[in-house]
Chain A
Amino acid sequence: MSLTNDQLQTVAHLARIAVEPEWTEALRSDINGILDQARRLDDPRLNDLEPMAHPLDQVQRLRPDSVTETDQRETLMDGAPAHEQGLFLVPKVIE
């Protein structure tokens, strides 16, 4: 499996990361290197194993349904790049 230029552009768009033309070749070869390694996963011993999502065999703990947070808007918004009247601002969203 090897990544084509088109695929790289699609992936870059999904990730919202620009891949400049001068970076394309190096990046493709890096990623292809990782995909080459990934061939080891074709090992048939893996076929019947249960996929493992977490290292520990635990179950989800449930939180009681109670309000524990207070209004921290001022503090939390302080680090926002652009905000006004309590809203985060972004370039106009067209629906």
Chain B
Amino acid sequence: MLAIDPAKKLSFNRLISNGDLVIVYERHDNMKAVTVSEGSVLQNRFGVFKHSEWIGKPFGSKVFSNKGGFVYLLAPTPELWTLVLSHRTQILYIADISFVIMYLEVVPGCLVLESGTGSGSLTTSLARAVAPMGHVHTFDFHEQRAGSARDDFERTGLSSLISVRVRDIQGEGFPSEFAGLADAVFLDLPQPWLAIPSAAKMLKQDGTLCSFSPCVEQVQRSCETLQNCFTDIRTFEVLLRTYEVKEGKMENLNGDNNDSNGSLPCKRRQRSDGSYAPDTSVSSVMARPCGEARGHTGYLTFARLKCL
């Protein structure tokens, strides 16, 4: 997914080859991660797609099924991966992820600690931010979940940047080997206040911490605990409003033209009073917010380790 090896940069121009991970794009709300395998086929409502026909095509290509249906084959990015990964837990989405990376000041070379790993949605973006020489150590107390995450990072080619371990961070804290070494710590735990004292020990001076919690009661308790060793404690909520764009015909009112006319190009019925008849219709591009949106994901609480 990432060009970790500088020799392989500009990999987007690489042609699709056997064993590659591709994102099969049907629509913006319908994508799927597929590992290309010479003898395999992809079957969906558009028909049967032979992987063998994908090999040798550039990423970004449109490919056709036996029935003439088509999909696009995209190179994976952390954003696309977040949309296709299998949800073993509730995951973090793009608005929260972007904000967390920026606010934790994660840059190449950073050492980042994360718990829990969950489905690895944030972990993937953290890995991108610390690449090529930083590292993400992520911890989850659920053995199977950790294993699946490890498999995913293998599949997305990020395993050299991410170490997954099974550990109950709320109960045991982070391993002492990282004491004073972490540039940033991210917590997504049911009782983050239990892990905060350990997180403080792991961080470098002025290092950043973020705790993600869906409930305000969790935030309340976390903030009280943070007061002890942290400063600059700030809690945010970040959401996205998306827009739909349409080209629409707007009726142009023209007062001069009073007589009714039945041959209007637009579909709208004529007004009964007949005082203003739509005369010409002008086509214009219009935007409006989508009717439905995610209303809440979680509260993001950030803090910096106090300088002593």
Q: Do A and B bind each other?
A: no
